[in-house]
A and B are shown apart, each in its own frame.
Chain A
C-alpha cells in the first residue's frame, strides 16, 4: 500500500485533489481511498487530505502518518507545518514554489519543485494550483496515468473548465517528466 498526504490551505482544493487522484487510481485498476483531515474549516487555515493506493482492499481508517508521497500546495506552509514529518525514505515531495524551498529536505526524500501557481494563472487565469500539482504527481509517482487523470478531470469539470484544468495538469506533467 502507498500513501499520499496533501498539505494545503482551506480553499486551495486539497480535498478535491485527493478525490481526483483516487478516482484516477481507481480508473487505472487500483483500489484507492481518499479522505480529508478535518481541522479548522476556514479559508487560509492549514488543511490536509489523504489518499491510499493498493492492489488489495483498503481497510485501514486512520489518518496518514508515514506517507510515501506528499504534495504541498503552498510553500509558505513549510514555515508553520513540518510537511515532511513521518515521510518514508525513498518518498517523493512535490512542492508548489516559484523558487526553491526554505527548509531542509530530509535524507532519502526526492524533492520536486514546480511553479504551479504560474501554470494555473497561465491556463486557468486563477491561482488554483491543485490540478497542475496532480499532473506533477502523475509524472513523478507513476501511481496514476495521465490518461486516467484526464478522465477524472473530465468527469469532475465540464466543457472549457475541464479543458483548462487538463491543460494545467499536462503542462506540469510534461515539465516533471522532462526534468526527470
Chain B
C-alpha cells in the first residue's frame, strides 16, 4: 500500500495550523445555539422518539418507509390544500349572494376578509424575511432535478409546526395561520418544508386580502422554486391581465 503523502507547502501548513487556534464563537451566537439545543431536549414531544441508529449502518427499513411516506403525505396534503384553495375561490365567485346565504355560514366564513388595519400593519412581519435578489433561475436539465433530502425526525417536527397553519387556512381563518408560519420560519429558516411554508404564507396573505403582499411573496416564491406547483391555485384566482 502506498502511504507516502507529499508534504504540504510550508505556507499551507502554517495556514492550517492557525486553524487550530481559533477563538471562541461570539457569545450571542453560542447562547442562541445552546438555547435551541436545550429547548430541543426539553420540548421533544412524547410521540416522537429519536431511535438510536448506528453511524456505520444504513437506515433500517422502517426509517426508509418513513422517508418515503412522510414527504408523500405532506405533499398530498398540501396539494389538496392548493386545489381546495382554487376551488373555493372559484365557487365563491360563481355563487350569487342568495346562493351563498343558502350555503350558510361555511361559504361566508371562507370569503377572503379584508384585513383589519392592525393586521395590515403587521404584514411586514408576515412577509418573508429573506428576499432573494432578482436573478434569473439557474437552468436545470430534465434529469437533474434536485432531490429532496429528508430527515424523518426533523420532518415530523416541521410538519407539526405547520399543521395549525394548514388547518387555519382550510377553515378560512387566514390571519390565524401566520403565527405558525412565523414560528416555523424562526425555528427552521432553512428546513425541509420551506417551500410548503412559503406557499402557505402566500395563501394566508391572499386570503387576508393583502393581495399586494401575497403577490410579492409569490414572486419571491416563484424565483426560488420555479418548478413548484404549490401556487397553481393563483392562476385561477388571478384575473388575466
Q: Do A and B bind each other?
A: no
State the B residues within 8 Å of A (CB). Answer: none
State the A residues within 8 Å of B (CB). Answer: none
